[in-house]
Amino acid sequence: MQALFDESYGAKATPSAQEVGADLRPRLTFGWPATREKLLLRKSGLDDVSIEMLKLDLLRRVPEAPLQAGIELRVVDVAPDTLTLVWIDMMTEDVSQQIEVDRALLLEIEANPEGWNPIRTDLTKGMFVDMQKLYMGVGQDAA
């Protein structure tokens, strides 16, 4: 995937294509909920890597999190003071739980780059930027 991006918009592309590519953030997603989330975050000016770290932090804070295969945590709404996340079944897109998160928690994570650096490094290896790759055994270099 990275090679295709490099040829189309990156270092191996024409100068005009590289100009377009400079504003792109290539991402690999699986399923419509993940794709919708990435587009929403981009439209809202939020860093998707920081959001993935926020999700990981929420796993510690929400003891009733429905952790099971096929259930993902996705941002579905962005308001000035809150983020709305849902636990969604990837096959049916049914929502099992909704969480409202104060954006101050996201700011707290972003204010601690050194503390989150190891996780940020793992999340940003390849185009698949999703917390799932840290616990699903997805090879970071494969994306």
Q: What is the pLDDT of residue 11?
A: 81
- Using the CB atoms, write b or e for 12-40: b if 16+ within 10 Å: ebeeeeeeebeeeebbbbeeebbeebbeb
Q: pLDDT higher for 139 or 76?
A: 76
Is residue 23 predicted with pLDDT exceeding 90? no
Provide DSSP, 24-69.
-------SHHHHHHHHHHHHHT--HHHHHHHHHHHHHH-TT----T
Distances (CA, A) of 133 to 16, 18, 60: 33, 29, 17
143 Cβ partners below 8 Å, 6+ apart? 1, 2, 28, 125, 126, 127, 128, 133
pTM of the model: 0.84
Which strands sit side by side in the sheet containing 71-78, from one edge to the other?
71-78, 82-89, 95-102
pLDDT for 143 beyond 70: no
pLDDT tens digit sequence for 52-84: 999 999 998 888 888 888 899 999 999 999 999
